[in-house]
Amino acid sequence: MTAYKDLSVEELQSLKKELEAQFAEIKAKNLKLDMSRGKPSKAQLDLSMGMMDVLSSEADLTCEEGVDCRNYGVLDGINEAKQLLSDMSEVPKENIVIFGNSSLNVMYDTISRSMTHGVMGSTPWCKLDKVKFLCPVPGYDRHFAITEHFGIEMINIPMTPEGPNMDMVEALVNNDETVKGIWCVPKYSNPQGYTYSDQTVRRFARLKPAAKDFRIYWDNAYTIHHLHDDNQDYLIEILMACKQEGNPDMVYKFCSTSKISFPGSGIAAIAASTANLADIRKQMTIQTIGHDKVNQLRHARYFKDIHGVVEHMRKHADILRPKFEAVIDVLNKELSGLEIGSWTQPRGGYFISFDSLEGCAKAIVAKAKEAGVIMTPAGATFPYGKDPKDSNIRIAPSFPTPEELSMAANIFVLSVKLVSIDKILGEK
Say whether both 126 and 147 belong to one domain.
Answer: yes
Task: Give the pLDDT confidence score for residue 196 in this predicted structure.
Answer: 98
Are 178 and 276 contained in the same domain? yes
CATH assignment of the domain containing 73:
3.40.640.10
Residues in a beta bridge with 164:
159
**pLDDT tens for residues 26-85?**
999 999 998 888 899 999 999 999 999 999 999 999 999 999 999 999 999 999 999 999
Residue 51 maps to a domain: no
As a three-state string, the secondary structure of the chain is CCCHHHCCHHHHHHHHHHHHHHHHHHHCCCCCEEECCCCCCHHHHHCCHHHHHCCCCCCCCECCCCCECCCCCCCCCCHHHHHHHHHHHCCCHHHEEECCCCHHHHHHHHHHHHHHHCCCCCCCHHHCCCCEEEEEECCCHHHHHHHHHCCCEEEEEEEECCEECHHHHHHHHHHCCCEEEEEECCCCCCCCCCCCCHHHHHHHHCCCCCCCCCEEEEECCCCCCECCCCCCCCCCCHHHHHHHCCCCCCEEEEEECCCCCCCCCCCEEEECCHHHHHHHHHHHHHHCCCCCHHHHHHHHHHHCCHHHHHHHHHHHHHHHHHHHHHHHHHHHHHHCCCCCEEECCCCECCCEEEEECCCCHHHHHHHHHHCCEEECCCCCCCHHHCCCCCCEEEECCCCCCHHHHHHHHHHHHHHHHHHHHHHHHHHC
**106 domain residue, yes or no:** yes
* 160 shares a domain with 31: no
Looking at the fold, whether 272 and 352 belong to one and the same domain comes out as no
Same-domain check for residues 193 and 267 = yes
Residue 377, in any domain of the structure: yes
Q: Is residue 324 part of a domain?
A: yes
Q: Are 214 and 152 in contact (CB under 8 A)?
A: no
Task: With respect to residue 58, please indicate whether it lies within any of the assigned structural domains.
Answer: no
pLDDT at residue 428, as a whole number: 80
Query: Could you read off the pLDDT of 103-114 as tens digits, one per residue?
Result: 999 999 999 999
Going 163 to 164 to 165 to 171, the CA torsion angle's sign is negative
Q: What is the pLDDT of residue 402?
A: 83
Mean pLDDT of the chain: 97
Domain encompassing residue 69:
63-304
Answer yes or no: are the C-beta atoms of 252 and 276 closer than 8 Å. yes
Looking at 262, 280, 304, the residue that finishes a domain is 304
Q: What single-letter amino acid sits at 273? A: S
* Confidence check: pLDDT of 239 > 90: yes
Kindly indicate the confidence band of residue 268, based on its pLDDT and cuts at 50, 70 and 90: very high
| Same domain, residue pair 408 and 276 | no
Reply yes or no on whether the pLDDT at 1 is more than 90.
Answer: no
Residues 347 and 366 in one domain: yes
Query: Mean per-residue pLDDT for 258-273?
Result: 97
Find, among 18, 28, 17, 15, the residue nearest to 370 by Cα.
28
Same domain for 345 and 394, yes or no, is yes
pLDDT for res 340 = 98
Residues 405 and 281 in one domain: no
> How much is the average pLDDT of 277-285?
96
What average pLDDT score do residues 269-291 get? 96
pLDDT tens for residues 353-383?
A: 999 999 999 999 999 999 999 999 999 999 9
pLDDT of residue 199: 98
Query: Are residues 242 and 321 located together in one domain of the fold?
Result: no
Residue ending a domain, choose from 280, 304, 328:
304
Q: For position 403, what pLDDT does the model report? A: 85
Gap between the Cα atoms of 96 and 269, Å rounded: 7
Picking from 304, 338, 373, the residue at the C-terminal end of a domain is: 304
In this structure, are 288 and 402 located in the same domain? no
Q: Please, are residues 417 and 340 in contact by the beta-carbon 8 Å criterion? A: yes
Residues 206, 242: Cα–Cα separation, whole Å: 7
Q: How many domains does the chain have?
A: 2
* In-domain check, residue 52: no
In the predicted model, what is the mean pLDDT of residues 177-203?
98
- Does one domain contain both 77 and 212? yes
